């Protein structure tokens, strides 16, 4: 009896010793751990400090350019608050409409200041001298790298949209197509500067700018009968963007890699072999990544729990897989691959799990595809406009337009085929669209979410013609009873 009892006690003591030894080892190695980013800043003797980097940057051309962008943005007067007119008695607008409208949105829709009274306020704003001077200053900034804050990027996008609006005004009221093309080229350039900023948020803003410019080009080509020289100039203005999609993809990959690696360094240690573990003591919350100097450090005991999370090498492998797939992406099949790779991230990867999920890289790549489609559609719209001016009617086939002087065919990035085109003789218009993410030609039906296969299918096509994209911005009065 006594022997059995002592054996049992010895067994429990042995188990306890193993557990205590393991916990002790983990505690000794991890108690004092710190994220790699904070360690870098500590090793000031070998690493450049933030002040050093800021000084070096201040001597670069990008600093000077960024300063000029910032001063031009600051010089733009605040846009007027445009109020949508109240519907007359017994009438309602065909779409619900906010009371205040951004100027860029107000300019969209039919150019009919007589009927759409709110346009006058915007026109007056764009014709003010100080507005024009600030926009000219912005348009004169040469191509090159730029470093802006998050707020600066948003303001730059707003200003690029104002340039698009001024281009529209110049065509509609003065018929000055050349000046309008110059404004569009400037807005395009500003967007491209953001794309190359190395920050994925600014990349996204820049791509959106450039898509807006393409929309304006399409509208201009549809509404105005461009001369052949104007069409050629417009095409020439976009020619430098032929290789742009590849560059934008690479910029996206490098921006994602930089952002994610930085966040990894802010939450994981890094040893000599490049491996590390999640520093729970440095994190305020696991699902959030905001770690800075002010974040109070918690007891190192929390780091004992990091054994349940992935190590640095595992997370880095996931990041690199996504980045590689973005670098090599071609069409929608690659988008699905990016989405699948994004689903590998989870909260076991620490703060990165909440950020680098499927929606991030996948959504950004979809934006890139949309940008490619928009670029192709703008080229096609200009070629179609030129054909219409020469022959008096829209062509039967898209390949007939620009035949002989377009160096590239307008391709659908979603399936690698030529963009879908159909003439609409009764409306004196045409239908131009891409197959969009479902990869099916739906005959030009506008894309919408539909309940199918679990409810997450985006069905329909991406409409790229100038006939309808702003219809939603141009509501009409209807009888209230209807």
By rule CB under 8 A, what string of x and - marks binding of each residue 137-176 to another protein? ----------------------------------------
Which DSSP string corresponds to 45-67? TTS--HHHHHHHHHTSHHHHHHH
Name the residue nearer to another protein (CB basis): 16 or 393.
16
25: left (phi over 0), alpha (psi -120 to 50) or beta: alpha
> What's the Cα-to-Cα distance from 334 to each of 257, 358, 366, rounded to whole Å?
18, 13, 10
Binding flag, residue 8, another protein (CB under 8 A):
yes
**Residues with Cβ within 8 Å of residue 284, at least 6 apart in sequence:** 290, 291, 295, 296
Longest dimension (CA), the chain: 109
6: left (phi over 0), alpha (psi -120 to 50) or beta: alpha
Among 82, 139, 209, 286, interactor with another protein by CB under 8 A: 286
Q: Are the C-beta atoms of residues 227 and 388 closer than 8 Å to each other?
A: no
Count of CB atoms within 10 A of residue 189's CB?
22
CB of 139 to another protein, least distance (A): 36
Count of CB atoms within 10 A of residue 95's CB?
12
Binding flag, residue 340, another protein (CB under 8 A):
yes
Return the axis-axis angle of helices 177-195 and 228-239, rounded to nearest 10°. Answer: 10
Name the residue nearer to another protein (CB basis): 14 or 175.
14
Among 123, 169, 211, 283, interactor with another protein by CB under 8 A: 283
Among 451, 479, 481, 482, interactor with another protein by CB under 8 A: 451
CB of 32 to another protein, least distance (A): 18
Among 43, 273, 455, 482, interactor with another protein by CB under 8 A: 455
CB of 11 to another protein, least distance (A): 7
Size, binding site for another protein by CB under 8 A: 30
Binding flag, residue 97, another protein (CB under 8 A):
no
Q: Are the C-beta atoms of residues 343 and 377 closer than 8 Å to each other?
A: no
Binding flag, residue 353, another protein (CB under 8 A):
yes
Strand bridging mode 100-101 / 477-479: unpaired
By rule CB under 8 A, what string of x and - marks binding of each residue 296-335 to another protein? --x---x--x--xxx-------------------------
Name the residue nearer to another protein (CB basis): 3 or 404.
3
Strand bridging mode 457-459 / 82-83: unpaired
Binding flag, residue 445, another protein (CB under 8 A):
no
CB of 12 to another protein, least distance (A): 6
Q: Is 257 helix (H, G, I), strand (E, B) or coil?
A: helix
User: Using CB under 8 A as the criterion, which residues of the chain lie in contact with another protein when the complex forms?
Assistant: 8, 11-12, 280, 283-287, 298, 302, 305, 308-310, 340, 343-348, 353, 448-451, 454-456
């Amino acid at each position: 009896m006594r022997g059995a009892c002592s054996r049992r006690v010895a067994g429990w003591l042995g188990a306890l010793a193993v557990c205590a030894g393991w916990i002790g080892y983990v505690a000794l190695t991890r108690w004092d751990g710190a994220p790699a980013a904070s360690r870098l800043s500590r090793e000031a003797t070998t690493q450049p400090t933030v002040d050093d980097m800021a000084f070096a940057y201040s001597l670069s051309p990008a600093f000077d350019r960024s300063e000029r962008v910032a001063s031009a943005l600051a010089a733009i007067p605040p846009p007027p608050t445009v109020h949508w007119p109240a519907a007359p008695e017994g009438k309602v607008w065909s779409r619900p409409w906010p009371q205040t409208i951004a100027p860029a949105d107000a300019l969209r829709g039919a150019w009919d200041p007589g009927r759409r009274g709110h346009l006058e306020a915007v026109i007056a704003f764009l014709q003010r001298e100080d507005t024009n001077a600030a926009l000219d200053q912005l348009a004169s900034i040469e191509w090159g790298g730029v470093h802006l804050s998050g707020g600066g990027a948003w303001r730059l996008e707003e200003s690029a949209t104002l340039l698009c609006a001024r281009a529209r005004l110049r065509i509609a009221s003065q018929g000055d197509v050349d000046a309008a093309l110059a404004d569009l080229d400037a807005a395009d350039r500003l967007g491209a500067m953001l794309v190359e900023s190395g920050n994925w948020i600014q990349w996204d803003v820049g791509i959106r700018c450039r898509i807006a410019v393409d929309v304006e080009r399409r509208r201009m080509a549809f509404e105005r009968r461009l001369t052949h020289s104007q069409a050629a100039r417009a095409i020439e203005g976009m020619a430098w963007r032929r290789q742009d999609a590849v560059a934008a993809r690479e910029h996206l990959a490098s921006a994602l890699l930089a952002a994610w690696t930085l966040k990894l360094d802010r939450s994981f240690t890094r040893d000599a072999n490049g491996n590390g573990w999640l520093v729970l003591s440095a994190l305020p919350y696991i699902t959030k990544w905001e770690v800075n100097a002010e974040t109070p450090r918690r007891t190192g005991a929390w780091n004992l729990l990091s054994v349940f999370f992935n190590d640095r090498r595992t997370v880095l492998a996931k990041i690199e897989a996504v980045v590689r797939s973005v670098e090599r992406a071609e069409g929608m099949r690659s988008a699905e691959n990016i989405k699948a790779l994004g689903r590998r991230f989870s909260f076991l990867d620490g703060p990165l799990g909440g950020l680098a999920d499927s929606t991030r890289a996948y959504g950004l790549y979809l934006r890139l595809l949309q940008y490619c489609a928009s670029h192709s559609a703008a080229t096609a719209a200009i070629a179609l406009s030129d054909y219409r001016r020469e022959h008096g009617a829209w062509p039967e086939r898209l390949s007939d337009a620009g035949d002989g002087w377009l160096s590239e065919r307008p391709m659908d990035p979603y399936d690698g085929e030529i963009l879908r085109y159909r003439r609409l003789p009764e409306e004196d218009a045409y239908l131009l669209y891409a197959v969009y993410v479902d990869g099916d030609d739906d005959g030009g039906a506008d894309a919408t979410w539909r309940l199918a296969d679990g409810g997450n299918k985006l069905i329909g096509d991406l409409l790229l013609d100038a006939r309808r994209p702003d219809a939603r911005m141009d509501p009409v009065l209807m009888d209230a009873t209807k």
